[in-house]
Structures are given as structure tokens and as C-alpha cells.
């Protein structure tokens, strides 16, 4: 497991993505899978940076674990901000037009639908959100 600790600020997104991409490239992650992971990481990190600490400041911990059999990556985001389970919110009704739909929720909906597993827990005063993606090397790029 490798870990990065950064201030939960939007301007640190590129550092977070570079850190994760480095781990993905080391294991030969297909580019299409890496792009899907990058989009999910952006959504989750920006949410932490925007909402976890309100107007205050705090840190975000990003942990990357690569599993060998089957080859997969697990990325965990940890913050000490307000308790919030984004998975508890009802999925948006994507059959409605954008005007008819309630605002918000599309980003986490997209994360849930592009990752193989998404989980959340609140433990010891920390929000812990984990995404997992299988890295099937047989994908044709």
C-alpha cells in the first residue's frame, strides 16, 4: 500500500491523480481503465476538497493498494471532515431530463457505475471511501 497525504484543496487534484497514475502505470493498467479511474478520483477528491471541511481546512489521505489475483487496484480516500456517506443518497433518475432531475448526485452515481466496488464507512471520526477496479489487461486499447 502506498499513501499520499495532501491538503484537501482542489489545486491538489493533479498531485493526487499523478500519484495514482504512477501506481497504475507500474502494473500496466490499460489506458481506458486508467481514464475511468481518473474520472472517479477527480469526482471523489473534489467532493472532499469542496465539502468535507466546510470553510475550514483539513487533509485528505489517499491510499493505493494493488492486488495481484485478480489484478485490481483499491483506492481509499480518508478525511476527518463532516460525516457524510455519499452512497446513502438515492441515485438520480437518469431517465429524466436535466431540467426535471434534482441537482447533485450524478458524480457519485457515475463512480458507482464505473468502478467494480465502492464502499464507505465512518470510523474513529473519519470518512473512509474506497473504490476498487479490476485491471483486466486483455482490454483492447
The domain ranges of the chain are 2-134
5 membership: H or E segment, kind and range: strand 2-7
Across the range 69-96, mean pLDDT stands at: 84
Q: What is the pLDDT of residue 100?
A: 57
| Annotation: CATH topology of 2-134 | Heat Shock Protein 90 (3.30.565)
Across the range 26-53, mean pLDDT stands at: 94
Q: What is the pLDDT of residue 87?
A: 86
Distances (CA, A) of 114 to 19, 59, 128: 20, 26, 19
* Residue pointed to by grid coordinates 464507512: 121
Q: What is the pLDDT of residue 139?
A: 42
Q: pLDDT class for 12, splitting at 50, 70, 90? A: very high
Cα angle 5-6-8, degrees, rounded to a multiple of 5: 130
Average pLDDT, the chain: 88
Q: Which of 76-90, 91-105, 115-129 has the lowest mean pLDDT?
A: 91-105
Q: How far apart are CA 57 and CA 115, in angstroms?
A: 29
User: The whole model's pTM is what?
Assistant: 0.88
> 95 pLDDT exceeds 90?
no
Amino acid at each position: 500500500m502506498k499513501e499520499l497525504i495532501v491538503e484537501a484543496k482542489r489545486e491538489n487534484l493533479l498531485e493526487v491523480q499523478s500519484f495514482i497514475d504512477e501506481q497504475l502505470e507500474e502494473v500496466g493498467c490499460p489506458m481506458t481503465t486508467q481514464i475511468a479511474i481518473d474520472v472517479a478520483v477527480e469526482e471523489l477528491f473534489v467532493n472532499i476538497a469542496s465539502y468535507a471541511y466546510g470553510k475550514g481546512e483539513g487533509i485528505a489521505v489517499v491510499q493505493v493498494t494493488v492486488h495481484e489475483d485478480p489484478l485490481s487496484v483499491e483506492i481509499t480516500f480518508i478525511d476527518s471532515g463532516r460525516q457524510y456517506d455519499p452512497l446513502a443518497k438515492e441515485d438520480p433518475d437518469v431517465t429524466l431530463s436535466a431540467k426535471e432531475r434534482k441537482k447533485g448526485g450524478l458524480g457519485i452515481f457515475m463512480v458507482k457505475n464505473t468502478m467494480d466496488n465502492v464502499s464507505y464507512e465512518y470510523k474513529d471520526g473519519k470518512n473512509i471511501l474506497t473504490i476498487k477496479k479490476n485491471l483486466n489487461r486483455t482490454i483492447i486499447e
